[in-house]
C-alpha cells in the first residue's frame, strides 16, 4: 500500500504565519505538522510515502521532513483541489491501494483500521464525532457504511465529521478523473466517493475516538499544540540555572533557562534562551528563540522569535519565526502589522 499526503495548500486561515512558508511546516510541540503526518503513516506500516506539494512549498516541506526518511515529492503545479492533487500523484500510486492523508490533520488514533477495513470495501473514510458538525463535511453512516457526505450543512443529519483521511482501491481514481469542478472551481476528492457509491461501490467508515484537529486556524493550532505538549515525556538536556521547573517539561540540548519559573507542559527548543520569565503551562518555544522577562501562557513561539520585556502577559498567541515582541518605547506603541495579522491591545 502507498501513502499519499496532500500538502500543496498554503493555508489562508493561518495567515500571516503561513505567509512565508507552508502551513504544514509549522511546528506543533516542536514537531512540524507534516512530520507528524509522515509518522502517522509509518506507524500504520506504510513506508512508500508521497507528498503532494506546490512549487513554492516544496523547499519548506523538504526541510520539515529531513529526519523522516525517504519520501517522494510530487508537484501540483496549480491549486485545483484535492482531487486534482491525487491525480497529480497517479504515476507514483502505480495502481496500488492508497492511504490518503490531508496534510494539515493531526491524529491521536492509529490509522491502521483504515487499512484493515479496506479488505471488505472499495474505499474507507475516517470520521469523528464533533460538537459543531455544521462546520465540517458531515458523514451520514449506517451500520458502518457511508451513505452520503454533506458539506457544511445547516441542519446536519449526524455529528460525524469527515476528518481528512481515506483509504481506497485503485479503481476510485477513475471516478476522480471524471469529476467536474465544484462551485469553488476545484476537483473535490470526497465527491468521488459519492460517484463510487452511486455506481454500486461500497464505502465504509472508521470512527476515531481520540484527539483530532485539522490545525487550519490559530485556535485549532494552539489546541493541537497543547495536546501534544501534554503527551511529552519530561526531559532536560539543556542548562537550568536558578529556576523552578515542574510538570511535563522538555528542555532540548543547547537551550538555557535562567532565573525563571517553568510550569509544564512546556517544550523549549534547541539553543533557545529563557531568562527571568514565567512560562507555561501550554507553551512551546522554538529553536534559537529568546524569551526575556516575560509571562507566557498557552502560546506557540516559533524559531528565532524574540520576546523581550513585554509589559503585559502573552496568552493564547502565535508568534512566528524571527518575530519581535517587546515593550513600547518612550514615544508610545510602534506596530509593524502585516496582512491579515491580529493584535488585541
The CATH number given to whatever domain includes residue 166 is 3.90.550.10
Interval 147-158: pLDDT, tens: 999 988 989 999
Give the pLDDT mean for 227-233: 97
Please check whether residues 250 and 188 belong to one and the same domain: no
pLDDT one-digit tens code per residue, 273-299:
999 999 999 999 999 999 999 999 999
Residue 111: pLDDT band with limits 50, 70, 90: very high
Give the pLDDT confidence of 17-44 residue by residue, as tens digits.
Answer: 887 788 899 999 999 999 999 999 999 9
pLDDT, position 17: 81
Using only C-alpha atoms, what is the Rg of the chain? 22
Domain enclosing residue 211, as ranges:
2-227
pLDDT at 338: 67
pLDDT band at 339; cut points 50, 70, 90? low
Q: Taking residues 256-267, report their average pLDDT.
A: 98
Q: Does residue 120 belong to any structural domain of this protein?
A: yes
211 plus 263 within the same structural domain: no
Please write down the HEC assignment for all residues of the chain: CEEEEECCCCCHHHCCHHHCCCHHHCEECCEEHHHHHHHHHHHCCCCCEEEEECCCCHHHHHHHCCCCCCCEEEECCCCCCHHHHHHHCHHHHCCCCEEEEECCCEECCCCHHHHHHHHHCCEEEEEEECCCHHHCEEEEEECCEEEEEEECCCCCCCCEEEEEEEEECCCHHHHHHCCCCCCCCCCCHHHHHHHHHHCCCCEEEEEECCCEECCCCHHHHHHHHHHHHHCCCCEECCEEECCEEECCEEECCCCEEECCEEECCEEECCCCEEECCEECCCEEECCCCEEECCEEECEEECCCCEEECCCCCEECCEECCCCEEECCECCECCCCCCCCCCCCC
Measure the CA–CA gap between 274 and 249, rounded to whole angstroms: 13
Note whether 127 and 252 are same-domain residues. Answer: no
91, pLDDT greater than 80? yes
What average pLDDT does this structure show over 179-195?
91
pLDDT at 14: 81
Residue 221 counted as domain residue: yes
Q: Give the integer Cα–Cα distance in Å for 8 and 23.
A: 9
- 141 part of a folded domain: yes
- CATH (domain of 268): 2.160.10.10
Binned at pLDDT 50, 70 and 90, residue 175 comes out as: very high
Q: Are 132 and 217 found together in one domain?
A: yes
Residue 169 lies in a domain: yes
44 with 86, same domain: the answer is yes
The pLDDT tens digits for 193-224 are 999 999 999 999 999 999 999 877 889 999 99
Mean per-residue pLDDT, 43-62: 95
Q: What is the mean pLDDT of the chain?
A: 93
Q: Are residues 102 and 248 in the same domain?
A: no
Whether residue 37 contacts residue 53, with contact meaning beta carbons closer than 8 Å, is answered with no
Instruction: Looking at the structure, tell me whether residues 91 and 219 fall in a common domain.
Output: yes
Specify whether the CB–CB gap between 140 and 146 falls below 8 A: yes
The pLDDT value given to residue 198: 95
Q: Is residue 38 part of a domain?
A: yes
The model's pTM is 0.92
Residues 251 and 211 occupy one common structural domain: no
* pLDDT confidence of residue 110: 96
- How many Å apart are CA 223 and CA 225, to the nearest integer? 5
216 plus 289 within the same structural domain: no
What is the rounded distance in angstroms from the CA atom of residue 275 to the CA atom of residue 256? 8
Q: How many domains does the chain have?
A: 2
pLDDT digits (tens, 9 = 90+) for 315-328: 999 999 999 999 88
On whether residue 338 sits in a domain, the answer given is no
Domain boundary pick from 197, 227, 257:
227
160 and 254 both lie in a single domain: no
> Does residue 124 share a domain with residue 183?
yes
pLDDT band at 185 (very low <50, low <70, confident <90, very high): confident
Confidence of residue 184 (pLDDT cuts 50, 70, 90): confident
- CA–CA distance, 281 with 278 (Å, rounded to integer): 9
- In this structure, are 206 and 273 located in the same domain? no
Amino acid at each position: 500500500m502507498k501513502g499519499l499526503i496532500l500538502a500543496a495548500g498554503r493555508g489562508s486561515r493561518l495567515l500571516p504565519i503561513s505567509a512565508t512558508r507552508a502551513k504544514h511546516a509549522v511546528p506543533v510541540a516542536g514537531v512540524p505538522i507534516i512530520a507528524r503526518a509522515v509518522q502517522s503513516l509509518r506507524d500504520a506500516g506504510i513506508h512508500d510515502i508521497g507528498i503532494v506539494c506546490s512549487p513554492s512549498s516544496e523547499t519548506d516541506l523538504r526541510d520539515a521532513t529531513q529526519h523522516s526518511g525517504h519520501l517522494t515529492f510530487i508537484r501540483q503545479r496549480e491549486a485545483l483541489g484535492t482531487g486534482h492533487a491525487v491525480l497529480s500523484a497517479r504515476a507514483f500510486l502505480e495502481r496500488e491501494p492508497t492511504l490518503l492523508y490531508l496534510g494539515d490533520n493531526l491524529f491521536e488514533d492509529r490509522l491502521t483500521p483504515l487499512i484493515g477495513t479496506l479488505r471488505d470495501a472499495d474505499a474507507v473514510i475516517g470520521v469523528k464525532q464533533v460538537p459543531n458538525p455544521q462546520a465540517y463535511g458531515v458523514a451520514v453512516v449506517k451500520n458502518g457504511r457511508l451513505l452520503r457526505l454533506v458539506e457544511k450543512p445547516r441542519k446536519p443529519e449526524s455529528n460525524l465529521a469527515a476528518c481528512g483521511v481515506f483509504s481506497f482501491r485503485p479503481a476510485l481514481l477513475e471516478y476522480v478523473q471524471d469529476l467536474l469542478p465544484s462551485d469553488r472551481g476545484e476537483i473535490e476528492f470526497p465527491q468521488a466517493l459519492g460517484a463510487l457509491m452511486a455506481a454500486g461501490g461500497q464505502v465504509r467508515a472508521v470512527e476515531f475516538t481520540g484527539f483530532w484537529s485539522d490545525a487550519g486556524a490559530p485556535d485549532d493550532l494552539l489546541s493541537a499544540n497543547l495536546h501534544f505538549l501534554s503527551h511529552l515525556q519530561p526531559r532536560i538536556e539543556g542548562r537550568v540555572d536558578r529556576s523552578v521547573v515542574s510538570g511535563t517539561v522538555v528542555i532540548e540540548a543547547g537551550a538555557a533557562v535562567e532565573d525563571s519559573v517553568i510550569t509544564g507542559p512546556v517544550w523549549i527548543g534547541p539553543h533557545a534562551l529563557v531568562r527571568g520569565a514565567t512560562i507555561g503551562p501550554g507553551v512551546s518555544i522554538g529553536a534559537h528563540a529568546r524569551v526575556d522577562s516575560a509571562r507566557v501562557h498557552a502560546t506557540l513561539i516559533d524559531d528565532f522569535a524574540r520576546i523581550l520585556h513585554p509589559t503585559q502577559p502573552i496568552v493564547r498567541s502565535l508568534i512566528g519565526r524571527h518575530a519581535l515582541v517587546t515593550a513600547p518605547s518612550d514615544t508610545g506603541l510602534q506596530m509593524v502589522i502585516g496582512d491579515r495579522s491580529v493584535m488585541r491591545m
